[in-house]
Chain A
C-alpha cells in the first residue's frame, strides 16, 4: 500500500483528529464529575431449618429420619437439631409409619435412655403418626439440640417410622430494625 498517496494522508489525518477529539472529550468528562465510593461491605442473609437425626455432630443429612421399629414396644432416641442461623420458636413435626402406630415424645428434663424414663420431669407428645404435621413448640437456640423419643404404640413390629421436620419463616426470629 502506498501510504504516501493523498488519500492515505487524508485518512491518517482524520484518524489523528478523531483520536485527539476523543482524548479531549474524555478529559473534559472526567473533570466534570465526582464520586464518593465506599469500601466493600459484606451483607449476608440468615437461614432457618431443623433436622431429625441420630447423628450427634454435623454434617447432618437434609433428609427425613427413618427409624426401623423392630419390636412391639421399640423405643429409640434421636436429635432434633437447629441447623439454621436463627433461633427457632418451634418446628412442625410429622410422623408416618409403614404400618402400625408410633408417637414422638419430649422430656421436660433429660431422658434416662437406659431406663426409658424422664426423671423428675414430664413427658409430652410432640407428634403422633397418622396425625399429619403438628407444631412442636420448643425453643431451639441456634445450633442447639433437643433429644426426642420415638415409641411404637400399636404392638406391631418390623415397620418403619419416618420423621419429617418443617420450619416456616414465622418459626424463626421476627424481623427487626437496627442501626449503627
Chain B
C-alpha cells in the first residue's frame, strides 16, 4: 500500500492531464468565438487615391545655349548664353541656385582667380523672352528684366552656389541670360613670352548646375 501511494504522488495521472487539455482547448475555442463576435469594422467603399508629387526642373537651350563652347576670349569680352528652366507641373520649388564646376584636370586662373578669372551675371526675362543675338534683349509686351546674380566670380561658384530665386512656381518657366565675362586687365607680352600668372591661353571645361529644393511642406485639411 505504501509503495502505491508514493507512485501516485510523483507521477500525475495521465487521464487527469488529458482532461485538463480538453478543457483548455474548449475554453480557447469558445473564448475566441466570443471575441470575434465583438469586432466591428468600417471602411470606405471607394479606395482613396494618395500620390506623391514629383519635383523636377529641366533646362533647355534658348539659342545655342551651353551647347556651344566659348573660345578665344579677350579681357573685357562678354559672351551671352541663354537657357530656359522649366519647373515640373507637380511641385513648386524653392531656393534656386547656380553652381559651376571646372572639369579640367588642373583648373586654371579662369576658374580659380576671383580677380582675373571668369565671372557671370544672371538675368531673368520676366513676361517675355530673350532675343539671343549680340547683347540680347528681353522682348514682349510688358516684359521686364530681373538681375538674379551680378558679376559673380566662377571661382566662388564651385563651392558656394549663387542664390537666384527663393521660389519657382510649379509649371513655370524661367528664361535666363547668362553673361560670361573676362575682366579687363593689362598684360604685356614681351618677345612672345606671357607674363607670370597670365590670363592668356587658358582653358576650362564648365558644367553649369541649377539646383532647387521642394517647396515648403504644408498641412492642409478639407
Interface residues of A (CB under 8 A from B): 31-52, 60-64, 83-86, 164-169, 172-180
Contacts and interface: CB of A to CB of B under 8 A. Distances in A.
Interface of B: 55-59, 63-83, 85, 88, 93, 103, 110, 118, 132-136, 177, 180, 182, 184-194, 198-214
B204 A42 contact: yes
Nearest to B217: A32
Given A34-B55, A166-B189, A42 B205 contact: yes
B176 to A, nearest CB: 11
B213 A32 contact: yes
Contacts of A168: 186-188
Nearest to B52: A31
22 contacts: A31-B214, A34-B93, A35-B211, A35-B212, A37-B210, A40-B205, A41-B207, A44-B73, A45-B72, A46-B73, A50-B192, A61-B192, A62-B191, A85-B201, A166-B190, A168-B188, A169-B187, A172-B74, A177-B78, A177-B134, A178-B78, A180-B63
A44 B74 contact: no
Contact of B73 (A40, A41, A45, A52): A45
Nearest to B64: A180
B133 A180 contact: yes
Given A43-B73, A62-B193, A84-B189, A32 B210 contact: no
